């Protein structure tokens, strides 16, 4: 083998993750993000679902522009591109694609994981909107720390589920 370090399955996995990240970064930053189509689509879904949930909980909700949602009497939340979850979808997808496993399972698990991440993001927006009715400082704190830990923790748990239960393969097993 020309590059002996490529025999190590962990090295191959890390290189796959790196390649996926580089491709994603270029595609997103050069084409997808400037067009704003996907970003705004995901934000629209997040705002609509969050509005529905907040109203189901009995809150009077306002929306404005295509990124603003809040409970009446508050300043509301503006959902920026960094908070729409798309980067998390890519992070999750890249890990699953790079890790050994059955492609049919990957094609089932990836959309399921993305859906769960989106639902978590909707729950985050709803929670932040409710928190905003009590304290803007608590809203900022939880946005910055609590929900970051919760969402990345859930993505980590999805990865662990994939590696330990779903993929049927591992980095130390021989790939065929």
Q: 18-65: per-residue pLDDT in tens?
A: 999 999 999 999 998 889 899 999 999 999 999 999 999 999 999 988
How large is the average pLDDT for residues 12-22?
A: 91
Q: Are 162 and 99 a contacting pair, CB within 8 Å?
A: yes
Exposed, middle or buried by CB within 10 Å (0-12, 13-18, 19+), for 174? exposed
pTM of the predicted model, to two decimals? 0.88
Is a pLDDT exceeding 60 seen at residue 172? no
Strand partners, 154: none
Averaged confidence pLDDT in the chain: 91
**What pLDDT is attached to residue 169?**
75
Beta-strand ranges (E) seen in the chain are 61-64, 68-71, 77-78
In angstroms, rounded to a whole number, what is the distance separating the alpha carbons of residues 151 and 45?
Answer: 18
Is a pLDDT exceeding 50 seen at residue 16? yes
The band of 101, judged by pLDDT with boundaries at 50, 70 and 90, is confident
Q: 124-145: per-residue pLDDT in tens?
A: 999 999 999 999 999 999 999 9
How large is the average pLDDT for residues 149-159?
A: 95
Residues with Cβ < 8 Å from 7, sequence gap 6 or more? 1
φ, ψ of residue 62 to 5 degrees: the values are -120, 150
């Amino acid at each position: 083998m020309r590059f002996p370090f490529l025999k190590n399955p962990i090295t191959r996995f890390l290189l796959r993750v790196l390649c996926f990240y580089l491709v994603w970064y270029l595609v997103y930053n050069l084409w997808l993000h400037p067009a704003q189509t996907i970003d705004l689509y995901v934000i629209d879904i997040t705002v609509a679902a969050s509005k529905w949930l907040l109203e189901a909980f009995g809150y009077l909700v306002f929306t404005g522009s295509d990124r603003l949602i809040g409970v009446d009497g508050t300043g509301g939340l503006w959902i920026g591109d960094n908070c729409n979850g798309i980067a998390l979808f890519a992070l999750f997808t890249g890990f699953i694609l790079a890790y050994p496993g059955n492609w049919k399972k990957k094609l089932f698990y990836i959309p399921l994981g993305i859906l769960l991440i989106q639902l978590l993001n909707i729950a985050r927006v709803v929670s932040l909107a409710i928190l905003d009715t009590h304290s803007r400082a608590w809203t900022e704190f939880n946005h910055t720390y609590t929900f970051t830990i919760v969402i990345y923790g859930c993505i980590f748990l999805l990865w662990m589920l994939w590696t330990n239960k779903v993929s049927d393969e591992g980095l130390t097993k021989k790939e065929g």
